[in-house]
Amino acid sequence: MQMTPREWALLTFLSIIWGGAFFFVAVAVHVVPPLTVVFLRVGIAALALLLYLQIKGEKLQFERSLLLAFLVMGMLNNIIPFSLLFWAQTNISSGLASILNATTPMFSIIVAHFALADEKMAANKIIGVFLGLFGVMALVGGSVIEGENIAIFGMIACLGAALSYACAATFGRRFRTMDVSNSYVAFGQLTASTLVMIPVMLIVDRPWELAMPGTGVVLAIVALALISTALAYVIYFQLLASVGAVNVALVTLLVPVSAILLGTIFLNEILETRHYVGLALILTGLIAVDGRLLRKSTTGG
């Protein structure tokens, strides 16, 4: 499934605001517990999209099949990956988390191959997957050698989040056949996620016992919810419907760029040489997966 220049522009913009998400999370999770940040992210974003739908005059739908699809999508695309990534960022840097998140297309290829008829495995995708795996080995292997146990668990959590995102991208294709807008799909899965997270957050984090966070943390959570979630998901579901699960997962090719820049400039995060080696291998794998550069080189332009 090929992408137009407009779709590439949307993908690039999405990568920037999702790269910002890693920065906002890094600011928040060292003050507010991860599960509370997850709840605030999905809850505020759901309210924002509800207001947006009301302004558009779009009616709410309550078909059982649609509500069930929202619940599954919310689990795969929000609750599981957000919880894993937010916890991971209490132990590893936002830049490293974004690099590991870049393995999402690798998992998407495998999941889509078995779940979707129009996104089967090809030679370039197999090569890309192996390059990505070598990149992960470069990242995680260094921590094993150095005995960084907490960092290892953080990295594994990020890989689990990437797998969950891949399953979500594949599952989300079914919304193309349902009579709902991209905005409504985003609202539905965020609302389902919010309802699930309420009891989890109350039981685990006991937020009434937490101190009120500072202004910077509050602004980071609001930006995370409104920009990196509400707006991002409207764009995400539009791209998912038009270009497919594997192509939309290529957004993670660009996310580490903005995430690393923000972390380096504002949070004084420092990545080691092996992190950049791992990133280079993962990005090379993603380029192989995409296949466009290879096709251009074989056709002379």
pLDDT at site 13: 92
CA distance 278 to 280: 5
216 pLDDT exceeds 60?
yes
Residue-wise pLDDT tens digits, 244-277:
766 776 777 778 878 888 888 888 888 778 778 8
CA distance 278 to 90: 21
CB atoms closer than 10 angstroms to residue 268: 8
Mean pLDDT value of segment 231-254: 79
Per-residue confidence (pLDDT) for residue 247, from 0 to 100: 75
Q: Smallest Cα–Cα separation from 173: which of 107, 255, 111?
A: 111
Report the C-alpha gap between 194 and 191 in whole angstroms. Answer: 5
Contact of 37 with 221, CB cutoff 8 Å: yes
Q: What is the pLDDT of residues 119-155, one digit of tens each?
A: 676 777 778 777 877 877 777 665 544 555 667 888 8
Residue 296 has pLDDT above 60, yes or no: no
Length of the chain: 301
Question: Interior CA angle at 25 toward 23 and 29, to 5°?
Answer: 135
**pTM for this one?**
0.85
Please state, as a whole number, how many other Cβ atoms lie within 10 Å of the Cβ of residue 207: 14
Residue 204 contacts by C-beta under 8 Å, 6 or more apart in sequence? 33, 35
With H, G, I as helix, E, B as strand and everything else as coil, classify residue 72.
helix
Q: Are 57 and 16 in contact (CB under 8 A)?
A: no
